[in-house]
Amino acid sequence: MTWRSRGAVVAAGVAVVLLAAVVINHLAAADADRNSYLLPWAAGETNRHSVIQGNFVSDRFGGCTSGCAPHGDPGQLFAWDFDLPEGTEVLAARAGTVGLVAASWPAGHCGGLTPVTNPPPGYLVSPVMGNQANLVRVDHGDGTSALYLHLSSVSDDVLHKAATGGRVAQGEVLGHSGRTGLTRCEPHLHFQVETTVRADWFTESLSVHFADRDVVDQTPDGVPLEGGTYVSDNLPAGVNP
């Protein structure tokens, strides 16, 4: 082997090592992003909230043990319904760009697909009720977005940023929780991280983990469990720890 060919082999080896380092760093950054979420409400013991419905989980026999209805749907396997009373401030779980907003529905616009016995006040029946909710979707710039659904209202700042492509910080107030859309008129926040598709607000949900201390203390993998109650570490933007 000539010195020239040896030099070429060494250079190629260095290039492979550098490429591997870049890939490893990229994967590490992606993992860090997937673990950079904080619960979407303000920090504080008085703001402890429960998980009405968690990620879809089945036992070894195929029976559903969590997220049974409707989170068994492929688009909602990794979704959460958080028990946030109507009017609770909803904070950005992770920073990003306002990708989509729907804010035209009155706070009391809610219902289901079929009539129910003893419906709550204001209960409406519509085959498209699932599309009649106020929402904010925050684009994280990595092919994923967070969906905040069933809001009673969207903040004016977020409405402006939706028109200008503005960014929101983690902890920024996106709006207030509510019951708009397909909720059976029961207030809660539907939250999921999903693949970003510009033409669609409801796509494929993705598995993510929360970094809040109370979540990790109870479930080391950072996944809030159905029936559990949790305290957030999410500080409203501009508030010092």
CA 191, 195, 199, 200 torsion: positive or negative? negative
Look at residue 237 and tell me whether its pLDDT is greater than 60: yes
Look at residue 3 and tell me whether its pLDDT is greater than 90: no
Cβ(202)–Cβ(140) below 8 Å: no
Domains of the chain: 35-230 (2.70.70.10)
Q: Tell me which H or E stretch contains 209.
A: none
Q: What is the mean pLDDT of residues 140-165?
A: 96
Tokens 């009720």 sit on residue: 129
Q: What is the mean pLDDT of residues 150-171?
A: 96
Per-residue model confidence (pLDDT) at position 123: 97
Look at residue 168 and tell me whether its pLDDT is greater than 70: yes
Per-residue model confidence (pLDDT) at position 10: 42
Q: How many whole angstroms separate alpha carbon 199 and alpha carbon 232?
A: 32
Look at residue 29 and tell me whether its pLDDT is greater than 50: no
Q: How many whole angstroms separate alpha carbon 147 and alpha carbon 150?
A: 10
Q: How many whole angstroms separate alpha carbon 134 and alpha carbon 107?
A: 8
Q: Confirm whether pTM is higher than 0.75.
A: yes
- Six token digits for residue 195: 């693949």
